[in-house]
Structure 1
Amino acid sequence: MYHQNPISAPPSHSPYAYTHRPPALPAQGDNYHVGPESSPFYAITEAITKEAQAPNLLSIQAALGAMSLVLQDQVRVERPNDGASLPVSLIIIGVARSGERKSTVMNAYMEPIHAYWARERERTQKAKAQYDSRLTVWNKTRSKLMNDVSKADAARLRTKARKDSADLGAAALAYQQANDALQLHMEDKPTSPLPINIGILSDVTPQAISKFIKENHVRSLGIMTAEGEEFLSNGIKQQSSILNKGYSGEATNRYRAGEGEQSYDIPITTCIFVQPEVAHNAFSGPKNLMRATGTLARTLFAYPASTQGTRFLNKDEISVKKFVANLLQDDKSYQDTQKIKEKYCQWITKRLAHSSSASIEKMSLLTLKKEAQALWYQAFNECEMHMRPGNRYEAFTDHASKLPDQWLRVAAIIHSYNHATSGEISKETLFAAISLVNAFSDEFVRTFRPISNEEKDIFTLQGYIDRLRQHSRYLPRRYITSCGPLRPTARCNAALFTLSQQGHITLSECSTRNSQGRQARPITMIDLAPHSSPDYHAWKNALNHARSLNQR
């Protein structure tokens, strides 16, 4: 159930002004709300999710990334409290294992953008070739006319020096005619073809971003990839402020020896999907600059639950009647999906075409309706209170402080797709945006929350056991406590017990005797793969080997 927020009075800035109303900020772990089922944004994200059978949050991330890319040079949104104009650029990071269909989802949303870019690139290449040919001829003609002007001016000056009044008029006329011809030629200089305006990169170093922008004259840049390992390993961790500036719309003034001026002032949207191991290497550790510079705090982050193991194919029904009914139903569903995707492609193409023809100064400024403003103020104050000690965002104040702007950016994107790139954003759209951003915030907090020493021990030992599992199935506990990464033994035993409680391993006590044949302390054996079928032969060999070691 989603709360309604009737507003009858202007919002107050007091954090206690909303105690009589239902909360505007969803609770941690609440189900997220994409919008009404009849809304186009809900339709496209749901259609791609079902078609790819991928996690829904990945589909929503890719949709927001693609839409932000085509809107960020056309649309801005006004912040209610100070009237600041915010870009709709986003930084999006999705984490999913191999096989989660990250590329399938990303390609579904980026395909019309890539297709448009390819067509425009072919057009600009042909136009550039014609322009270069005309410019070559124009430059040669200019050189000849400048030479004619120089000769005519020299003749005029020589005539003037001789004080030959009879020829001075003719010399001056010849100079004026040559100069007029040059001026006419200068006005007829070939016009360079219009650039594509939008740039798309999947792998780039921080240094190459400014060079790419300058050389291609783009005014909207997207770093979009479903395989973000190369991008994250190419130095962006140390220079992530580039992404921050592109997100905030801040101009970058850059000058380098040997490169000259590399300044730019364009919005940048980043949408990358990575595997968990890549994310761990990129974002973990005490010297993680992407967290220190605030880049991670600005992200719409998701590490959703896997869909693998649930993506079943439908079997044919035995009954002919049921088979025909299902066939018609599937065909109708397929046709609906195609219509939804066609509408998305048409919207993307329209926005890209508008970007090619519109001036950068003619940007639409979206504002919130009065009821939406009240909802935003209420959610802002609730978010602020959650940053107090002992509350939800106590350890994530950098992240929480960015959420109010995120609500506005996401709301502006959803509004632009559902309605138009003008007008006022409704309370319902803002509510959906707050709900979505809250879901991403939950993912962020869950992934980056500070962990205890005990949890670190569990993760460390689990990684060690995962490596052992590649070569062995059964081992004595003594082996892991002696050769494993945790000391003292009590720490290792505590971590082993937790892993067994979670079902990652199984602990079994087995009786044994010493070399004199007397009852000795039981041996604790560990099954490293408890969910696999038992291997009695391997178990017996491992147990006998452990007993022989115990008798020494």
Structure 2
Amino acid sequence: MYFNYFRNSANKSNFGDDSYPSLSQFPLLDAAINEAQANIQAPRGLIQNAALTAISVVLQGLVDIRKPNGQVAPTSLMLLAIADSGERKSTVENVFLKPIRAFQAKQGEEVKESQSVWKVKYDTWMVRRNGVLKAIMKKASKGLSADEEEKVLLALEKEAPAKPKEFKILYEDSTSEALFHGMYENLPAAGLISSEGGGVLEGRAFNDLSKQNAIWSGDSITIDRKTAESFKLVDARLTVSLMVQESVFSKYMAHKGGVSRGSGLWARFLICRPASTQGTRYVSTHVPSWYHQTQFASRLEHFLEMDLICFRGNKKEKEVIGFDSEAARLWVEIANDIESRMCAGGILYGLGDHGSKLVEVISRLAALLHCFEGFEGDISMSTLQAATDLAKWYSNDFIKLFGENSKENDEEQELNCWLDSFRKVGKRFVKKNYILQCGPGKFRKKAALEHVLLRLVNNSAIRILNYPGGKTIYVDLCPWQGGL
């Protein structure tokens, strides 16, 4: 059987279709998502992202995936939802992450007492240490040997009380330095979460793109610091989940999109841009039930307890989940089919960064769904198929955002935004040569500029003209005003 990743099927969404993939074979997840959608009436994509975020956060420190090619990889996910203000992003996120926040807060309260005891012991230890240092300084000032005091200091260093570690699993709108240092000092599996992700995108957390990519792959990263001791983060796991407004994401991509896309960062993300539900969110006197959300929360708490046991026991080994024989054969067919789609004329042509990570993302989804639902043994063919359909749905939105058509739209938007600066000061006509000389860098080549100007003309955003007898070509920025 040859598997076609983008095949059409009566039971599955066609490529380019925005209908959501069925999750019915994952009853716990499906019921929680359906219930939240009915109660909150937010876009399903936001709800789906929040649910997958919660699952990834609690499971990534417990489970790795062994792919049929023998490679073992993390199960951490990166997710991005693009939705404007008023779509209830924060509400959706809180519903699914509330159990994790509550668990973290409870552990934080319990560790406060031990931290208070540690502070007293540490202060006492520092007094003893400072006393020895003063004795060494006194002898050194007199030119006397301080060998005995140095021995005492060395022994004292070994007695330094260790600061109690904190079970901190969620970091919200955090800088990369605070995030990575927190993971180094405390729990090495964490989630970077933001329902208003503009601060994270524009902040320092996403300046360290190479580190974000490395930790997604399970590689060690070294953090060099000027004012504090450097450290190495080994075998860490990080889930990233951002919800951003369309304008914020567009601004980020205009400024830093080339670098982040070129680094392969966005290829690792499950990206969705769901349609708004505003205007259809009617209220009633019906009291909503959260029965399935309670079950979902209970399952999260089960894995959080396991995370806590591993944390307290300093256990770093993870359970490795593999595929059964049928699923392994299907995985190979999926991988080969996706590869074939990256050649010229294929749906993934020009999106090799995305295509090269798709099988990895599918594998991670399959492992997370398998474990969260409590399925026994290796990952089955049906679970892999469902994970593939889910990844395919996200892939549709990635292609819409970053495919060839989206590049042309971005170019039009970029030049038109630049031309807006003239419109705002009441200037209607700009010489074409002026744009060639002073416009955005990518449009300072004649062919590139003419290509985007033609598209803007076709969209009635501008028109091209020259005065009778003149050779100078002008761009009319406000053709809708008529005249001339």
TM-score normalized by structure 1? Answer: 0.67
1:498 to 454, 459, 462: 459
Superposition deviation, residue 252 in structure 1: 1.1
CA contact (8 A) 2:121 2:161 kept: no
Q: 2:346, 2:67 → 1: CA distance?
A: 26
Q: Which residue of 1 aligns with 2:322?
A: 367
Structure 1's 431 and 55: CA in aligned 2 closer, same or farther, altered over 3 A?
same
Alpha-carbon distance between aligned partners in 2 of 1:384 and 1:490, rounded to the nearest angstrom: 31
CA-CA distance at 1:204 after TM superposition: 2.6
User: Equivalent of 2:86, from 83, 99, 123?
Assistant: 99
Q: Counterpart in 2 of 1:277?
A: 247
- The CA deviation string for residues 130-187 of structure 1, in whole angstroms up to 9 with x for no partner, is 233356668889999xxxxxxxxxxxxxxxxxxxxxxxxxxxxxxxxxxxxxx9x999
Relative to 1, partners in 2 of residues 1:486 and 1:63: Cα closer, same or farther, differing over 3 Å? farther
2:386 corresponds, among 429, 432, 440, to 432
Alignment equivalent of 2:279, drawn from 309, 316, 320: 309
- Structure 1 residues 209 and 143, CA, compared in 2 at 3 Å: closer, same or farther? closer
Is the contact made by 1:40 and 1:418 (CA closer than 8 Å) also made in structure 2?
yes
Please state if 1:131 is matched with 2:86.
Answer: no
Provide the alpha-carbon RMSD of the alignment: 4.1
- The match for 1:211 is 181
Task: For 1:311-460, list aligned pairs within 5 A.
Answer: 311-314=281-284, 330=286, 334-335=288-289, 338-358=290-310, 359-419=314-374, 423-451=377-405, 455=409, 458-459=412-413
SS in 2 for 1:394: coil
- Residue 220 of structure 1 aligns with an amino acid whose one-letter code is A
Do structure 1's residue 226 and structure 2's residue 195 form an aligned pair? yes
One-letter code aligned to 2:246: P
How far the C-alpha of 1:459 sits from its partner, in A, is 3.0
1:239 corresponding residue in structure 2? 208
Report how many residues are paired.
426
User: In 2 relative to 1, CA 35–468 (structure 1 residues): closer, same or farther, beyond 3 Å?
Assistant: farther
Check conservation: 2:224, 2:230, Cα contact below 8 A.
yes
Query: Within 2, Cα distance between the matches of 1:457 and 1:88?
Result: 36
Per the alignment, residue 223 of structure 2 pairs with 254
- 2:76 equivalent among 85, 89, 108: 89
**Post-superposition offset of 1:353:** 1.6
Structure 2 residues without counterparts, runs of 5 or longer: 132-154, 437-448, 463-477
Assess if the C-alpha contact under 8 Å between 2:64 and 2:318 holds in 1: yes
1:291 positional shift:
0.9
Q: Which amino acid aligns with 2:211?
A: I
Q: Hey, what's the Cα distance between the residues in 2 that align with 1:499 and 1:98?
A: 29
Q: Given the superposition, is the C-alpha separation of residues 452 and 103 from structure 1 closer, same or farther in structure 2, using an over 3 Å criterion?
A: closer
Q: Summarize deviations over 1:390-415 as a string: whole Å, max 9, x none.
A: 10111101110101110111111111
Letter of the 1:111 partner, please give it. K
Give me the whole-angstrom Cα distance separating, in 1, the residues matched to 2:410 and 2:3: 40
Assess, with a 3 A threshold, how the Cα gap between structure 1 residues 310 and 492 changes in structure 2: closer, same or farther: farther
Does the 8 A contact of 1:32 with 1:435 survive in 2?
no
SS in 1 for 2:191: strand
Output one character per residue of 1:297-317: Cα deviation in whole Å (capped at 9) or x when no partner: 111111122222222224xxx
CA change 1:130–1:190 in 2 (3 A) is: farther
Aligned counterpart, 2:100: 113
Which residue, 61, 64, 70 being the options, matches 1:73? 61
8 A contact 1:131–1:190 mirrored in 2 = no
Query: Are 1:42 and 2:30 an aligned pair?
Result: yes
Tell me how far apart the structure 2 counterparts of residues 458 and 257 of structure 1 sit (CA, whole Å). 43
Matched residue type, 2:388: I
Output the CA distance in 1 between the equivalents of 2:229 and 2:198: 30
Displacement after TM superposition at 1:258 (Å) = 3.5
Q: CA deviation at 1:453?
A: 8.7
Distance 1:26 1:389, change over 3 A: farther
Distance in structure 1 (CA, Å) of the matches to 2:346 and 2:316: 43
- What SS does the corresponding residue of 2:274 show, helix, strand or coil? coil
Counterparts in 2 of 1:46 and 1:496: CA distance versus 1, 3 Å: farther
Change (3 A) 1:465 1:186: closer
2: CA distance between counterparts of 1:489 and 1:364?
57
Instruction: Give the gaps of 5 or more residues in structure 1.
Output: 1-6, 8-16, 145-182, 315-326, 473-478, 506-523, 527-541
Does structure 1 conserve the Cα–Cα contact (< 8 Å) formed by 2:37 and 2:47?
Answer: yes
The Cα of 1:129 is off from its aligned counterpart by 0.9
Q: Is the 8 A contact 1:237 1:289 kept in 2?
A: no
Inter-CA distance 344–192: structure 2 relative to 1 (3 Å threshold): farther
Distance in 2 separating the partners of 1:297 and 1:91 = 10
Change (3 A) 1:296 1:22: closer
Say which is worse superposed, 276-285 or 298-307, in terms of deviation.
276-285
8 Å Cα contact 2:13/2:21 also seen in 1: no
Larger radius of gyration: 1
Whether the 8 Å contact between 2:75 and 2:365 is mirrored in structure 1 is yes
1:199 aligns with 2:160: no
Instruction: Report the residue type matching 2:294 in the other structure.
Output: E
Taking only the aligned residue pairs, the percentage that are identical comes to 24
Q: Which residue number in structure 1 is paired with residue 46 of structure 2?
A: 58
Aligned match of 1:296? 266
The 8 Å contact of residues 241 and 293 in structure 1, kept in 2 or not, is answered as yes
Q: Which amino acid aligns with 1:71?
A: L
Distance (Å, rounded) in 2 between the aligned partners of 1:271 and 1:452: 23
- Normalized against structure 2, the TM-score is what? 0.76
Q: CA deviation at 1:222?
A: 1.1
Q: Which position in structure 1 is the counterpart of 2:232?
A: 263
SS in 2 for 1:263: strand
Aligned in 2, Cα 1:373/1:190: closer, same or farther, shift over 3 Å?
same
Q: 1:280 to 1:490 in 2, by over 3 A?
A: closer
User: Any conservation in 2 of the 1:62–1:109 contact (CA below 8 Å)?
Assistant: yes
Distance (whole Å) between structure 1 residues aligned to residue 321 and residue 260 of structure 2: 30
Query: Quick one: structure 1 residues 273 and 470, their matched pair in 2 at CA, closer, same or farther if it must change by over 3 Å?
Result: farther
C-alpha contact (below 8 Å) 2:54/2:97 kept by paired residues: yes
Amino acid at match of 1:233: E
**Matches of 2:454 and 2:227, distance apart in 1:** 60
Task: Show CA shifts across 1:519-540 (max 9, x none).
Answer: xxxxx984xxxxxxxxxxxxxx
Give the corresponding residue for 1:122: 109
